[in-house]
Structure 1
Amino acid sequence: MPAPSPPPTYLYKILPSAPRSPLPPRLPLSDLDRTDGYIHLSTSAQVPGTADKFFGAAAELWLLKIKYEVLAVGTDGDGTVKKEGSAEVRWEEVGRGCFAHLYGADLGEGNVEEVLRVKREGTWGESLELEW
């Protein structure tokens, strides 16, 4: 499935706890990402629903903010650009929408722009204001 048009400026990875600081070149995969064989990502519009569905009981979350164009060219977690086709973002239909999945690369200091700590106040939708 093609990327949304226009593509988002940022994608987000939701984490239930703080990542190591400073970020390493390769963050460990979640159990879900390891099982599925790709890294689950969300657009700013998708983060609140995903957070409510999978992290509804959490009082705080950590978000990795990643420029879409950095991932789209195949930038790995260590900052190297992999050869064409070996690292890619695929937009795939999932029951409740079209989501970005990162194949063949890791997240880390070389492709994560910012780490955001977010405290829940009400629903995640009421607590989150993210850049598209």
Structure 2
Amino acid sequence: MSEQPQVAYKILTGAQLATLEREGTFAGAPVDLADGYIHMSTSDQVQETLDKHFAGQDDLHIAAIDLAALGNAVRWEPSRGGALFPHLYGALTLSTVIAYGAVEIDDDGVLVLPVAG
């Protein structure tokens, strides 16, 4: 079995990002609260997540999250098509976000991921 990625991504609305910035923590979007964990995606999964769950929405942002900093609060569980997705059981803290920015799509229609720097 291959190693899991060390970085996951969370798509946030402007209001959700503002909460994370202001309070230093984010308990989750309505779907996260309903499911009992914060949905995240790997770099290979996040484009489909954006297309499937956020199509047509404006004021979206993407956060790159250091999974090692979250420790055992992250569980890899099957979701779309049986693929393993990182799920965060607990709040997302700003201290574990290594980069974030507005959702940008390149000329080929591909999501540009934020890079720590």
With the length of structure 1 as denominator, give the TM-score of the two structures: 0.71
Percent sequence identity over aligned pairs: 33
Letter in 2 for 1:119: E
Q: Does 1:109 align with 2:94?
A: yes
- Where does structure 1 lack aligned partners over 5 or more consecutive residues? 75-87
With the length of structure 2 as denominator, give the TM-score of the two structures: 0.79
Letter in 2 for 1:12: Y
Count residues in correspondence. 112
Deviation sequence 1:51-74 (CA, Å, 0-9, x none): 000111124521111112111x25
Query: SS of the counterpart of 2:96?
Result: coil
- Say whether the 8 Å CA contact 2:62–2:114 is kept in structure 1: no
> Shift of the alpha carbon at 1:42?
0.4
Counterpart in the other structure of 1:99: 85
More strand by share: 2
Query: Take 2:61 and 2:2, find their aligned partners in 1: how far apart are those partners?
Result: 27
- Say whether the 8 Å CA contact 1:13–1:65 is kept in structure 2: yes
RMSD: 2.4
- Where does structure 2 lack aligned partners over 5 or more consecutive residues? none
Stretches (4+) displaced over 2 A: 21-25, 58-61, 119-123, 127-131
Deviation sequence 1:98-131 (CA, Å, 0-9, x none): 111111x2112222122221234578x5233467
More helix by share: 2
Deviation sequence 1:6-63 (CA, Å, 0-9, x none): 2212101111325127452222421101100000010011000010001111245211
